[in-house]
Copies of this chain bind each other. A is one copy, B any other.
Amino acid sequence: MTAPTTADLLALDRAAQDLLFRAARTANTFTDKPVTDAQVAAIHDLIRYGPTAYNGQPLRVLLLRSAAARARLLPYVSSSNRAKTASAPLTAILAADVDFHERLPELYPHRPQARDWLSDRPSRVEQARFSATLQIGYLLVGVRAAGLAAGPMAGFDAAGVTREFFPDGRHEALLLLNLGHPGRDAWERRLPRLSTEEVVWTL
């Protein structure tokens, strides 16, 4: 893809633009090459600096490394996502800690009373979802920053995965993510994107 001239207006160099956005694609197949714990730690160590409300950082990442854990997940995955989830070198459940407010006295020390502002569970759950989803955005960029392909999947039974993997009632599954190196026929053609005129308005 030829980068448009707007690319020259950015401080980020073109190779990085391509790595993170322009040439990056959601992979549907993966090679056998593993994704190591060190790579995952490097990704997290980068993206953990992204901003969240109250610095609450509610995202939690559950890596399914064992065959037994992967097998527990598959019944909850939509049929169209099952084959790739079974064959990806690594699959993660991305979840929100809906009791993230308990850590706020430590994470947001200049306003220790923030924990009490979030004592109402329904509004706290909404906040947890929002900030964890922002963090998933950073995480997808971070996976690409590691030179890996990300395969996010919204097609799954989120309530079922929450019950199966987070019986503590404290976490809520938001998205599944396959990680690896792209395999054969890893993607379809690029789908159309909205133009700036369609997305950005001015008052």
Please measure, in the bound complex, the distance between the C-alpha atom of A145 and the C-alpha atom of B9, giving whole angstroms.
10
In the bound complex, CA of A103 to CA of B198 (Å) = 11
Within 8 Å CB of A135, what residues of B? 137
Taking a contact as CB atoms under 8 Å apart, the answer to whether A200 and B44 are in contact is yes
| Contact of A137 (CB < 8 Å), options: B40, B50, B194, B203 | B50
On whether the beta carbons of A41 and B196 are closer than 8 Å, the reply is: yes
Given A38-B6, A137-B136 in contact, is the A24-B45 Cβ separation under 8 Å?
Answer: no
Tell me the smallest distance from the CB of A91 to a CB of chain B, in Å.
10
**A194–B57 CB distance below 8 A:** yes
For residue A112, CB closer than 8 A to chain B, the reply is no
A51 near B19 with CB under 8 A, answer no
Distance of A21 from chain B, by nearest CB (Å): 4
- A48: CB under 8 A from chain B? yes
Cβ contacts under 8 Å, A39 to chain B: 9
Scoring A residues 42 to 62 as 1 if CB is less than 8 Å from chain B, else 0, what string do you get?
A: 111111111101010101111
Whether the pair B59, A199 counts as a contact (CB closer than 8 A) is yes
7 shortest interchain CB distances as A-B pairs? A137-B137, A11-B147, A69-B203, A12-B145, A9-B42, A6-B42, A133-B133
27 contacts between A and B (CB under 8 A): A4-B45, A6-B38, A9-B42, A9-B146, A10-B42, A11-B147, A21-B142, A24-B49, A26-B51, A37-B202, A40-B200, A50-B137, A50-B140, A51-B140, A57-B193, A59-B199, A61-B199, A63-B202, A107-B191, A109-B191, A129-B130, A130-B174, A133-B137, A134-B134, A134-B136, A137-B137, A137-B140
Q: A10-B43, A48-B193, A62-B201 are in contact. List 20 more A-B contacts (CB 8 A).
A: A9-B42, A10-B145, A11-B147, A12-B145, A21-B47, A21-B138, A41-B200, A44-B199, A48-B196, A51-B150, A60-B200, A60-B201, A64-B203, A66-B203, A68-B203, A69-B203, A108-B191, A127-B154, A129-B130, A134-B137
